[in-house]
Structure 1
Amino acid sequence: MKMGNYIGHTSEEGRQQLLIDHLKGTSLLAERFASVFDAPEWGRMAGLYHDIGKYSAAFQRRILEDGPRVDHSTAGALLMKKIKNVPLALCIASHHSGLLNTGTKLSNVNDGTLMGRLKKELKGKLDYSAYRQELPEPVPIRKAPAFLYGKDQFYYSFFIRMLFSCLVDADFLDTERFVNDGKVQRGGFATMEELHDLFFAYYATFGKPTTPINQKRQEIYQQCLDAAEKEPGMFSLTVPTGGGKTLSSLAFALKHAIKYKKQRIIYIIPYTSIIEQTADIFRNILGDGNVIEHHMNVDYDKDYDKNYDDDKKEDDGLNRKKLATENWDAPVIVTTNVQFFESLFAAKTSRCRKVHNIANSVLIFDEAQMLPEPYLRPCIRSMGELVANYRCTAVLCTATQPSLETYFSRIGEGLKVREICPDTQGLYGFFRRVTYRFMDVDSLESLAAQLKEHEQVLCVTNSKKDARDLYQLMTGDGCYHLSTFMYPAHRRRVLAIIRQRLKDGLPCRVISTSLIQAGVDVDFPVVYREIAGLDSIIQTGGRCNREGKQRTEDSTVYIYDLPKPMNRIPAFVRRPIEITQMVAKDHADIASAESIKAYFDQLHYTLGEDQLDSKDVLKRLEVNKPAFTEIAKDFKLIEEDSRTVFIPIDDDLDNQKILAQLRSGVCSRSILRKANQYMVGVYENQFRKLEEMNKLDALEFGLYVLTDPAAYDPDTGLVVNMEDGIGIFL
């Protein structure tokens, strides 16, 4: 072919994108992304050579004449291997398939590893030499980021993930620009300075605090502003429930981001309920378009047959799905522990795409004590890596701080965690507003009878099944149910009703799973909590006498224990319960700082170092040739896979508009962000039950729509068969 006539992509309308234009466009973006962590040349080369296999006559026949499929990714990888750059070879070979296992010299041509793919490429003798007509020969990169020298292999593997993310996002964005005929459907966000001004204008409307509680909240807020001036690094914000952590931490993040030129603020939160409330608060202050709420668990890669080669995935319909995947390009992100940490250890392109946008951010880990114990060490190591080498500042924000400093001190030369509000003991004493009492109940029926004696009461269960069964035993006006079987917009409506009834003094009895226990601004005179980990109990206690309007001795959190065979309770739930019972025997005040420290010390000691990395993730990443694909499969904060179901609402015009767009095949990040408000996550076994009963209709983008209105209860949400298992929230 003549120089300049090589085609990279074709559109549905028949437009063509020149290959050289795609390579240069991707290269410029990847270079900019990688410059954030001092690797611009690495990003530039990844983008420039990632698709050189498309220069082959075989690929040009494929794209122009619908010829046989061609692996076009391995060619660039082979070129990088020849200049002894394995990280770039791995990124380029993986940019469609997902991050590959490295493999060894003994790898065979069909094992799917990088080394196996390279051997196969050499045997196949695909002629892509025409790239020399338009591109210079690659030369070795002489400079790597300083943090890679003389360090263990974890640094190396993390760097590969970051570089891979830069390439994937750059490739998707340049392709998206072509598919949309130059109309880029992204950007337009406010600057960090504009967000700063919006926030402080909002905060000024509160005026001067007049009550003791608000004065103490103002002190905490000012300490956060003072700490924001300090050098980037690792901070903790240990403030009891009711201390105003949400706004104070946002003030810290905005001021710190401006002073140290951070590109975004990311809130990482364990519960969807906190995400929804936090995102609502931030949108109200900062504007809808500047905040992304991301906890939808849609896996676009599931639509692909694992046996398809790279070129099959170049089909424009499939490209549009992947182009719509979330890349966290907004200035404020609110997401889950699951999304954040699983993305950092992922292999699939749809999950890895956003990872590079974590660099140079302010990270707020809300309810940091909820970091999952079986993966605690890998999570901490990745947090430390982001702070030490990728220009992040992290804040461990919690009412019940676990002892994590020891683990951070082991990273590199040691990361020091600086407490923003050092008078922890004084704050615990000031915000102490409830009394905790243990009690036994012999059945859900007897528990329901006790709850009915209170006009306003909250009861939090450990399982979705118990929450639904208990709710069905409650009768009368003002009874409400909350669980993640209700789509987010539904939960928001119910919470608004609950808050109004509490304010008006009307009867209000709420049965909820633990989604309400942290970060949800409700204030009940009395609370019941099924026995759980001490941190969960104290979090739930924060929903009682929140504003201090009652005497402490009149505000009770009853900790009840239902008779259940302990062998039917999962170990990850049973262990915290047993340790809570141990601590309660030795400490009269279970909510004291001493009790909390004793609880976490015993929890981590009981688990042992090995069980804080139960899948040996760190050990497997500290080798010369890491198995990225296998590690990604094993790193699951929630062991059981979940699916996402869209709930149609006939009398909701926004809902119907979104559903019509999804059914017609229209897909964009904007549409998926809106659709998130009507999604319910279900486990694989529950999904299969719904499917077997013909209650689901498959949409194009890895989503499913509920087809039977009777399968969604207006009070309790999606109707699925439940075991006695514990509810876990995405």
Structure 2
Amino acid sequence: MGYLAHRDAENGREQLLIEHLRGVRDMAGSFAAAFGEEAAGRMVGLYHDIGKYSQEFQAYLLQGGGRKFDHSTAGALELMNRKSPLSIPASFCVAGHHSGLLNGGNSKADTEESRSLCGRLKKKPGQDIPNYQAYREEVGDVLDVDKSQLIPRIGRDFFAGQFYTRMLFSCLVDADFLDTEEFMQLGENVRGDFAPISELKERLDAYIAKKFLNEQGKRYGEPINQHRRKILRECIAAGDVDEGSSLLSLTVPTGGGKTIASLAFALHHAVRTGKKRVIYVIPYTSIIEQNAKVFQEILGDENVIEHHCQVDYSLASDDGDYDKPLKKQLATENWDAPLIVTTNVQFFESLFANRTSRCRKLHNIADSVIIFDEAQMLPVDYLRPCLAAIHELTQHYQATAVLCTATQPSLNKIFWEDYQREIKEICRNVTEEYEFFKRTKIELLPQKMTLVDMAGRLQEKEQVLCIVNTKKAARELFATLDGAETCFHLSTNLCPQHRKAVLAQIRQALLAGKPCRVISTSLIEAGVDVDFPCVYREMAGLDSIIQAAGRCNREGRRAKEESLVYVFAWADKSMANAQQSMKECQGATEYVCESYVEDLASPTAIKSYFDFLHKLDGHALDRKQIMDMISKEFMPFAHVAEEFALIETPTRPVFIPYDDDGQEIENCLRQGIRSRRLMREAGKYMVNVYCGKDNSPFEKMAAACKIEVLDDNVAVLVDRRGYSSTLGLKQEIEDGQAVMF
């Protein structure tokens, strides 16, 4: 008989099982070849669906439904019986190719019902799962695929073994998805077809030659542009020479042109070394949007894929056809585009995930150039697992990592202690460039500030920026200042469209020399181009203070002695951020102030800050003890995925009909329209609100009828009094405001 893998019930089309197995085998093998494991990829691809050779599963397909049967355990049993070095990782991959990677479990305690690999391997063909031995008729017993280059190098390194398994799993599940998609969609989905890396490099080179290296340009002679060109040329030269180092840093002072310089290195290095793609990993969506816009202008919108929570390509295409996903949507599934711009959350949570949808993209991180922009923002609570992942990618998976920042964290010590590896700096004259781009003087205020004290200081300045750590502090300081049209408030309680309008007013006032006093949370520190003569910054991590200083005298038009950044602390403890991570960063800054108070932004002060911060005990750099879990448990994939969550407090977006366009979008949302274009526009009017508990702000607002929940993805503010033209969304609901029915 002809055994089937898939059947399209609508038109009766059928895909033979052996054709599917061979298709997935070849594709998974080609994916794994990127890190030298083609044979392993071919093996898991060939065996992943042999459980479908059972009579029960074939009847299920032909009848078009009914009881489902476990078809994943069969391949895992056969691969484990081979007793080869690849048996364990291959069995995990095949057993989990639908359900996700399982925990290893306990071979003695687990039963057939346990959700673990040990439990699954106790299932008996013909009893616990259908008999699948007919696979031998078509597949046979393949004996020449138990080859691995990496397994002997990994040895008994438990983290490396789990990482390898997840990467091999990625090859399998992506190949399985793609082969099945090809059959079900008749090849109509348009994947890939992006410009090659070499063409992107040519586009960038042409842009640089015109915009930056044109010596006839009007501003060519300005010293600041000369230094930017020097940094740019150094990055291009470093990219054109393959010196064998895959772990690099790029330290460029604020204002030094880091975005274009890092892209120039990445594309030149990718072409020189044959890398397949460039991946930008960025902490803030505000920076992503800014950088992606620059990249799209240079390289073409079609070649740049943004993958983060505020971009959704997964809905209908612009012509309303829900059956034909956009090429960009498909690229977010497996990152097969030449340039990916994503977040720390998306990148690292995927590397520690166990679900098929999150893991599909991982094999495409291999053989790529990874730029960690604002590398000082790598999450301290998860720093050791994150660095372990970077080590694996650069040591075993042909990736090049660049830790890129204006305030380079001193990670050399950790990489040396844990892996005997050194980070190589791309820019050789970091201290010299720091001295040139230094445009401010940072001063520590000895006395603690009350709201009235701070308001008085700000009123003494015509143009001043004050950055605080909490939305509460921003709100209360703004209310105390009470400066009408001369005062502005910025926080994430304002929807992005509102913040954009406020920033436009701020920039206009600054350029016109008009009074402009701004109270903001840290959202203004990175990716926001404003230039104040004076900045106040609440005590925080030194990297945040230096980012704040980047908003002062940004263009270097004033003497640095006149461009002051004041660091202060609140007298009222209720105004401060109580999070442990913030306290640790503040403590590290206070330690550095004891020795470097005269020049807090110097490279030596920055190194001292990160050295102190990273001296915290091991649990502080791995608060969920991910590394211990991996070393002590047998392949705890599900446990690790559950614990590795960079954002632990859940939120839900609330749509704010802020202006006329917002009200039109609201009307469309209420009509049930959810097109990609509409949802992307709607994102400009969203404010994230904490949810998940009965007394959370979201639940309180819903109970008080302040918002209306339209569906799982959209809630709309209906009480317009709950949104202020200056403070944004009011999330504090007084007790007793809930409406009872």
Separation in 2, partners of 1:591, 1:721: 38
Among candidates 592, 599, 602, match of residue 602 of structure 2: 592
Q: Cα offset for 1:215?
A: 0.8
Among candidates 576, 581, 604, match of residue 585 of structure 2: 576
What's the counterpart of residue 282 of structure 1?
A: 295
Distance 1:650 1:561, change over 3 A: closer
Separation in 1, partners of 2:652, 2:395: 35
Separation in 2, partners of 1:168, 1:428: 47
| Deviates further, 709-718 or 199-208 | 709-718
Among candidates 381, 400, 421, match of residue 415 of structure 1: 421
What's the counterpart of residue 56 of structure 1?
A: 54
Separation in 1, partners of 2:105, 2:429: 52
What's the counterpart of residue 307 of structure 1?
A: none
Contact 1:648 1:705 in 2 (8 A): no
One-letter code aligned to 2:27: L
Question: Gaps (5+ residues) in structure 1?
Answer: 301-315, 317-321, 724-730
Contact 1:240 1:427 in 2 (8 A): yes
Contact 1:297 1:681 in 2 (8 A): no
What's the counterpart of residue 276 of structure 2?
A: 263
Q: Cα offset for 1:629?
A: 0.8
Among candidates 544, 553, 561, match of residue 561 of structure 2: 553
Q: Cα offset for 1:434?
A: 0.7
- Determine whether 1:126 maps to 2:130: yes
Contact 1:147 1:389 in 2 (8 A): no
Q: Deviations over 1:614-645 (max 9, x none)?
A: 23222332357221111111122233244455
Contact 2:349 2:645 in 1 (8 A): yes
One-letter code aligned to 1:69: K
- Determine whether 1:110 maps to 2:124: no
Contact 2:352 2:644 in 1 (8 A): yes
Q: Residues 134-213 of structure 1: matches in 2 within 5 Å?
A: 134-139=138-143, 141-146=145-150, 148-149=152-153, 150=155, 152-206=157-211, 207-208=214-215, 209-213=220-224
What's the counterpart of residue 68 of structure 2?
A: 69
Q: Cα offset for 1:118?
A: 2.1
Q: Cα offset for 1:445?
A: 4.7
Which secondary structure does the structure 1 equivalent of 2:35 belong to? coil
What's the counterpart of residue 10 of structure 1?
A: 8
Contact 1:3 1:134 in 2 (8 A): no
Contact 1:74 1:121 in 2 (8 A): no
Distance 1:60 1:496, change over 3 A: farther
Contact 1:384 1:411 in 2 (8 A): no
Contact 2:42 2:145 in 1 (8 A): no
Largest Rg, 1 or 2: 2
Q: Cα offset for 1:362?
A: 0.8
Aligned-residue Cα RMSD (Å) equals 3.4
Q: Residues 642-681 of structure 1: matches in 2 within 5 Å?
A: 642-643=651-652, 651-652=660-661, 656=665, 663=672, 680-681=687-688
What's the counterpart of residue 386 of structure 1?
A: 393
What's the counterpart of residue 552 of structure 2?
A: 544
Which secondary structure does the structure 2 equivalent of 1:88 belong to? helix
Which secondary structure does the structure 1 equivalent of 2:249 belong to? strand
Q: Residues 461-472 of structure 1: matches in 2 within 5 Å?
A: 461-472=468-479
One-letter code aligned to 1:543: R
What's the counterpart of residue 86 of structure 1?
A: 88
Which secondary structure does the structure 1 equivalent of 2:614 belong to? helix
Separation in 2, partners of 1:628, 1:662: 42
Separation in 1, partners of 2:312, 2:358: 8
- Determine whether 1:437 maps to 2:448: no
Which secondary structure does the structure 1 equivalent of 2:122 belong to? helix
Distance 1:108 1:274, change over 3 A: same
Separation in 1, partners of 2:650, 2:336: 26
- Determine whether 1:96 maps to 2:86: no
Contact 1:655 1:678 in 2 (8 A): no
Among candidates 687, 709, 712, match of residue 697 of structure 1: 709
Q: Residues 347-426 of structure 1: matches in 2 within 5 Å?
A: 347-412=354-419, 414-426=420-432
| Deviates further, 427-436 or 506-515 | 506-515
Distance 1:401 1:445, change over 3 A: same
Contact 2:370 2:401 in 1 (8 A): yes
One-letter code aligned to 2:613: L
Among the aligned pairs, what percent are the same residue? 48
Q: Cα offset for 1:698?
A: 5.8
What's the counterpart of residue 231 of structure 2?
A: 220
Q: Residues 337-348 of structure 1: matches in 2 within 5 Å?
A: 337-348=344-355
Distance 1:406 1:524, change over 3 A: same
Which secondary structure does the structure 1 equivalent of 2:233 belong to? helix
Separation in 1, partners of 2:497, 2:302: 18
Which secondary structure does the structure 1 equivalent of 2:709 belong to? strand
Q: Cα offset for 1:324?
A: 9.0
Contact 1:148 1:155 in 2 (8 A): no
Separation in 2, partners of 1:603, 1:633: 26
Separation in 1, partners of 2:515, 2:402: 39
Contact 2:657 2:666 in 1 (8 A): no
Separation in 2, partners of 1:272, 1:448: 31
Q: Cα offset for 1:384?
A: 1.1
Q: Cα offset for 1:416?
A: 2.4
Contact 2:345 2:646 in 1 (8 A): yes
Q: Cα offset for 1:372?
A: 1.8
- Determine whether 1:603 maps to 2:613: yes
Separation in 1, partners of 2:90, 2:730: 48
Separation in 1, partners of 2:94, 2:670: 34
| Deviates further, 444-453 or 419-428 | 444-453
Separation in 2, partners of 1:293, 1:178: 28
What's the counterpart of residue 239 of structure 1?
A: 252
Separation in 2, partners of 1:43, 1:489: 47
| Deviates further, 399-408 or 134-143 | 134-143
Separation in 2, partners of 1:640, 1:61: 46
Contact 1:649 1:656 in 2 (8 A): no
Q: Cα offset for 1:73?
A: 1.8
Separation in 1, partners of 2:474, 2:47: 55
Q: Cα offset for 1:673?
A: 7.3
What's the counterpart of residue 309 of structure 1?
A: none
What's the counterpart of residue 739 of structure 2?
A: none
What's the counterpart of residue 319 of structure 1?
A: none
What's the counterpart of residue 317 of structure 2?
A: none
Separation in 2, partners of 1:96, 1:18: 19
Q: Residues 503-518 of structure 1: matches in 2 within 5 Å?
A: 503-518=511-526
One-letter code aligned to 2:638: T
Q: Deviations over 1:306-349 (max 9, x none)?
A: xxxxxxxxxx9xxxxx9896322221122222221121111122
Q: Deviations over 1:395-447 (max 9, x none)?
A: 111122222112222455x3221111222222221111111123346433543
Q: Cα offset for 1:355?
A: 1.5
One-letter code aligned to 1:216: H
- Determine whether 1:535 maps to 2:543: yes
Q: Cα offset for 1:61?
A: 3.9
Distance 1:374 1:664, change over 3 A: same
Distance 1:689 1:131, change over 3 A: farther
Distance 1:662 1:434, change over 3 A: farther
One-letter code aligned to 1:193: S
Separation in 1, partners of 2:417, 2:494: 42
One-letter code aligned to 1:227: A
Q: Cα offset for 1:147?
A: 5.9
Q: Cα offset for 1:251?
A: 0.6
